[in-house]
Each structure stands twice: as C-alpha cells, then as structure tokens.
A = this chain, B = another copy of it.
Amino acid sequence: MRRNFSAKRQAIYDMLINRTDHPSATQIYEDLKEDYPDLSLGTVYRNISLFKDEKMAISVCSLNGEERIDGNTTPHTHLVCTYCGKITDLFTNDVGTRNNVVGDGFIIEKRAITYYGRCRECDNRLKSKNIEN
C-alpha cells in the first residue's frame, strides 16, 4: 500500500515530536483545531494508531483515562507527574538521582520498568506461521 503523508498526518506527527508534554489524542486535536479547523478527532485517532503500528510512536501510559503518546522512540525515561498530568522526558545526562529526585526537581514516588515484546508462545506461533507461509 502506497502511503500518502498528508499535511494533517504530518501535523499530527510533528505535534508528537515537538510537544514535550506527550499529549493525548484529544489534546492534539484541540491544539491542531486552530490551524486545521476542519480536522476530525477520528483522524487523530486513526493516525496515532498508524504511527503505533509502524513504531513511529509509543504509548507512554494511561493517565486519567487518556492514553498519552510519545513520538520519540529513542530509549529514554518518562517522568509522569500524577498531580498535574505533565509528562516530561529524562535523558541519561539529566540523571542526578539523589534521594529520589531527578531532572529538574522531579520527586519519584514510584519506579516502573516495563518491557514490551512477545512471550514465548507468541514467538513460537509467529515463527511457525512464517515457515508455513
């Protein structure tokens, strides 16, 4: 399938890359409404889904019922403020961890490490499919 990279798709992607707060679909929609008054929320969701499929974006977490998206797939750490909902990035050179304080004064209450991938069963299933086909 040939793919067009439309102006709106580009704008949505730019937002994921340029905004530092890892917006939700609705936040992207609200923001782009100004420049693209005829933008549809469905389009935002459709493109986010596409970006995730193509590994151009990832889900950071679910916060207050909204999924938050990051267009930066470079390995880095996320700082999620559960009080105001702001999400920032922490790159290794920012690390100055003393007493659970990192980056620009962010206070860690909970650390989470999550690996996304495929379990042994799914890996086997995928392998055998490749052989059959």
Name A's B-contacting residues (CB within 8 A): 58-62, 67, 75, 77-84, 86, 88, 90, 100, 102, 104-123, 125-126
Bound form: Cα–Cα A86–B116 in Å = 11
Q: In the complex, are the beta carbons of B84 and A119 less than 8 A apart?
A: yes
* Chain B residues closer than 8 Å to A115, beta-carbon distance: 77-80, 90, 102, 106, 108, 110-112
CB distance from A27 to the nearest CB of B (A): 16
Contact in complex: A107, B116 (CB < 8 Å): no
Q: List 26 A-B contacts (CB under 8 A).
A: A59-B61, A61-B62, A62-B62, A62-B67, A75-B111, A78-B115, A79-B115, A79-B117, A80-B117, A81-B117, A81-B118, A81-B119, A82-B118, A83-B118, A83-B126, A84-B121, A90-B115, A104-B120, A105-B120, A106-B115, A106-B118, A107-B117, A110-B116, A111-B115, A113-B113, A113-B114
Main SS class of interface, A? strand
Residue of B nearest to A117 (CB): B109
A112 to chain B, nearest CB (A): 5
Is the Cβ of B118 less than 8 Å from the Cβ of A109?
yes
